[in-house]
Chain A
Amino acid sequence: MSVKTLVIDGKAVTGRAGETIFNVAWENGVRIPRLCHVGGLSDVGACRLCLVEIEGQRKLAAACLTPVEEGMVVHTSSERLKEHRRLILELLLAERNHVCAVCVMNGACELQDLAAELGVDHVRLRYRFPKLGVDTSHERFGQDQNRCILCTRCVRVCDEVEGAHTKDVFGRGSGSLIINDMGGPWGESDTCTSCGKCVQVCPTGALFSKGKSVAEMRKDRGFLKYIVTAREKREWIR
């Protein structure tokens, strides 16, 4: 397999042909921010937080979708990139209702963590405060569209790993919603196997286990690597 040599943030690194900048960076300890990427699922480039600069290219590239190339020089955390990321986070925060103080994921939310990490202490945009639905019809899980950032992790894990394809995206743009089957209540879905994978990969409090109160919900994505490695390599590594 051919190997590519490149420079990421001043560090000479190598990656396999076809591997993304995102993965090669992480393997080498450069943690590019992300919200839609999650190891083991396909990438869709929905959040744009992983934008990086590639020398010689005017446009910024989504690291999770861009394969490494020989001789590339990549910058992942310039001031310009940080400013873009802050704006993206502010847009996400303003788009729906992220009132962390009353959220089950408070303290373990990937959106909240990234905002803290990038120093988003206030939002310069006007909050839209949409009044979206909360679906608690499922016996074990709940879905709060108000906290959804439309990363589609849940859609992909349900389709690619569980194989049920219960969830998908309804509509387009900022008004999109994550639906179950024909848009009916989650609890009435006849494709959902109640496996809980979508809940575990959701980066925010949009999908949660019932019975958790504020700041009690914690998620575990470890299962994904286990299942995906087992499926691809027939190795069951815990």
Chain B
Amino acid sequence: MPPDASKPTATVKDNREKMLERAMSRHHYSGDALIEVLHAAQELYGFLSIPLLQSIARKLRLPPSRVLGVATFYHFFSLAPKGEHFFQVCTGTACYVAGAQSLLDVLERRCCKSGGTSPDGKVSVQSARCIGSCGLAPAVIYDGKILARLTPEQLNAELDRIGVK
């Protein structure tokens, strides 16, 4: 990502899996906690992909069709980000202190409100509570990859690059 396009952001450690695991173990991997676990997963990933639901089904020892059924019953859950690109800004304490709000401001000014998708369908924006990568604050997950210590300048540059006005 310009001006740091060479930075191998993809290799930054993604702790979301561990965070989700913790949420499940808090509920003793009980199938009854499916909704709580789906909430935690959506909070962490922004949406519930099929492979993510697969792994939740396996861990909670539930039939896959039930997990998908529950995930599609509630409007709160979504199976895919609506926009072409998806920014998730961590607003957990560490990221907030490190300036997450100014990143969210950029996205809200140029794209759409958090939780929404820009009118041209290009970008969806969401905030998340701590994604378990506080050392990288402020962290943003951009199309599934973690961007560490992001600045508003870098963010603006990336928005320019993908053609956001």
Is A179 at the interface (CB under 8 A from chain B)? yes
Given A171-B72, A172-B72, A172-B73; A182-B54 close (CB under 8 Å): yes
Is A144 at the interface (CB under 8 A from chain B)? no
The total of Cβ contacts below 8 Å across the A-B interface reads 44
How far apart sit A10 and B155, CA to CA, in the bound complex (Å)? 76
Q: Enumerate chain A residues within 8 angstroms of B69, measured Cβ to Cβ.
A: 168-170, 179
Is B50 at the interface (CB under 8 A from chain A)? yes
Nearest-CB residue, chain B, relative to A182: B64
> By the criterion CB–CB under 8 Å, are B66 and A183 in contact?
no
Residues from 52 to 80 in B contacting A, C-beta threshold 8 Å: 53-54, 57, 63-69, 72-73
Nearest-CB residue, chain A, relative to B75: A172
A152 to chain B, nearest CB (A): 10
A162 to chain B, nearest CB (A): 12
Chain B interface category by residue count? 10 to 19
The 0/1 profile, CB within 8 Å of A marked 1, for residues 70-107 of chain B is 00110000000000000000000000000000000000
Nearest-CB residue, chain A, relative to B69: A168
> By the criterion CB–CB under 8 Å, are A168 and B66 in contact?
yes
A161 to chain B, nearest CB (A): 14
The 0/1 profile, CB within 8 Å of B marked 1, for residues 181-222 of chain A is 111000000010000000000000000000000000000000
The prevalent SS among residues of A at the interface is loop
- Complex partner residue of A170 from B54, B57, B63, B72, CB under 8 angstroms: B72
Nearest-CB residue, chain A, relative to B62: A165
Given A166-B63, A168-B63; A182-B68 close (CB under 8 Å): yes
- Complex partner residue of B65 from A171, A172, A179, CB under 8 angstroms: A179
Q: Enumerate chain B residues within 8 angstroms of A167, measured Cβ to Cβ.
A: 65
A44 to chain B, nearest CB (A): 13
How far apart sit A170 and B72, CA to CA, in the bound complex (Å)? 6
How far apart sit A179 and B66, CA to CA, in the bound complex (Å)? 9
Nearest-CB residue, chain A, relative to B70: A168
Q: Enumerate chain A residues within 8 angstroms of B65, measured Cβ to Cβ.
A: 165-168, 179-183, 191
B38 to chain A, nearest CB (A): 14
Q: List 14 A-B contacts (CB under 8 A).
A: A165-B66, A166-B63, A168-B65, A168-B66, A169-B69, A171-B72, A172-B73, A179-B65, A181-B63, A182-B50, A182-B65, A182-B67, A183-B50, A191-B63
List the interface of chain A (C-beta within 8 A of B).
159, 164-172, 179-183, 191
